[in-house]
Homo-oligomer: A and B are copies of this chain.
Amino acid sequence: MYTIIKEQIETPALLVDLDVLEKNIELMEAHLKGSKQRLRPHFKTHKSPYIAHLQINAGAKGITCAKLGEAEVLAAAGIKDILIANQVVDPCKIGRLAALANSTRLSVCVDNPHAISALSKAAIECGSTVYVLVEIDVGMDRCGVKTKEEALALAKQITDAEGLVFDGLQAYAGHLCHNPDREAREKGVANAEATVIEAKAFIESNGINVKEVSGSGTGIFDLPGAHEIWTEIQAGSYVFMDTDYNRLGLEFACSLSIMATIINKRPGIAITDAGLKVCCQEMGPPAIKDHPGLSVTSLSEEHGKIRDDNDELEYLQKIEYITSHCCATANLHDHYYCTRNGILEMVLPISGRGKSR
């Protein structure tokens, strides 16, 4: 009588199917077993230290995150190896970062000599060691140095800087991850790999060891390139999946959904209580789980409109959206309602939500 079934949860609710989540985590580790790659899964997707610990327990070497604020959440939750796969340049933040490096193994990316100087001074002041990856651009055209000469100059500067350890290269090809054409992804990875191989060889020919090459992602984790140059795979979305990644035909299943209630039903149309404030539609409107014939035609702030030509849905019925972008959708919510076989097992805080600083 105390069991809470899924449909009793108030909506909109962000649901996680624990069996599917755990299976996705297992599948990724099984895939990497025996290869030179180790998983360093991305926190930006789930922002839950609990799920991060599940990933570590399954074999991940550490956790990747996008922001210092996320690293603080992870360190506070006892994660002992954290990479901030981003540029941290603000003096205040560099101070926070160097201080945090006293309680966890912390690595960060750089693409600029000023940041290296500041990180070194901050690490000296805090008495900490900060591990540093030089970010090289492998086609995203976002952050990262463009040439092997720049990469070498930064690697040298890090090697010579007190308080810092040069750990290798960050080479994230996020632009390839969402391309549904596998051949195009393979070609892109081969190009990115060529850039990395060249930079790594050039740096090492100058007497500096490049221990790690960190990057990759859910859309390309199974395309490590001919030379398997990446040592760390930063996949994030594989734990949840979404309609955008589903197009790629990967082995992972959707564990994340947004449960909604039909609050208005009339012939041909159903209106839900779940809009764009609970479901990111950046890569298109959500799909509806178990109703492949139905489509969400629009999301306004707090409503969804479903075209329901055959009147499959009923007033007060609960349905589930599958979002087009799991990472941005999770960031809208405060809790996951974790279920197993349709029974609520855990209400899990999304502790990293909103930690964009």
The answer, yes or no, to whether A227 is at the interface (CB within 8 Å) is no
The answer, yes or no, to whether A303 is at the interface (CB within 8 Å) is yes
Contact A264 B12 (CB under 8 A): no
In the bound complex, what is the Cα–Cα distance between A333 and B277 (angstroms)? 12
Q: Which residue of B lies closest to A89 (CB)?
A: B263
Residues in chain B near residue A114, CB distance under 8 A: 315-316
Interface of A is mostly: loop
The answer, yes or no, to whether A44 is at the interface (CB within 8 Å) is yes
Contact A143 B354 (CB under 8 A): no
Q: Which residue of B lies closest to A175 (CB)?
A: B300
Q: For A273, A274, A334, which residue has the most chain B Cβ atoms within 10 angstroms?
A: A273
Contact B354 A316 (CB under 8 A): no
Contact B261 A302 (CB under 8 A): no
A186 to chain B, nearest CB (A): 23
**In residues 100-114 of chain A, which contact B (Cβ within 8 Å)?**
111-112, 114
Q: Which residue of B lies closest to A111 (CB)?
A: B264
Contact A305 B264 (CB under 8 A): no
Contact A90 B10 (CB under 8 A): yes
Contact A10 B331 (CB under 8 A): no
A interface size (C-beta, 8 A)? 51
Contact A264 B143 (CB under 8 A): yes
The answer, yes or no, to whether A190 is at the interface (CB within 8 Å) is no
In the bound complex, what is the Cα–Cα distance between A263 and B84 (angstroms)? 14
The answer, yes or no, to whether A66 is at the interface (CB within 8 Å) is yes
Q: Which residue of B lies closest to A12 (CB)?
A: B356
Contact A261 B333 (CB under 8 A): no
Residues in chain B near residue A90, CB distance under 8 A: 10-11, 261, 273, 316
The answer, yes or no, to whether A92 is at the interface (CB within 8 Å) is yes
Contact B356 A316 (CB under 8 A): no
In the bound complex, what is the Cα–Cα distance between A300 and B283 (angstroms)? 12
Known pairs A10-B357, A332-B332, A356-B277; A303 contacts B143 (CB<8 A): yes
Contact of A143 among B67, B271, B332 (CB under 8 A): B271
Contact A331 B328 (CB under 8 A): no
Contact of A142 among B261, B276, B303, B331 (CB under 8 A): B303
The answer, yes or no, to whether A93 is at the interface (CB within 8 Å) is yes
Contact A66 B354 (CB under 8 A): no
In the bound complex, what is the Cα–Cα distance between A146 and B271 (angstroms)? 14
The answer, yes or no, to whether A86 is at the interface (CB within 8 Å) is yes
The answer, yes or no, to whether A87 is at the interface (CB within 8 Å) is yes
**In residues 294-332 of chain A, which contact B (Cβ within 8 Å)?**
300-303, 305, 315-316, 327-328, 331-332
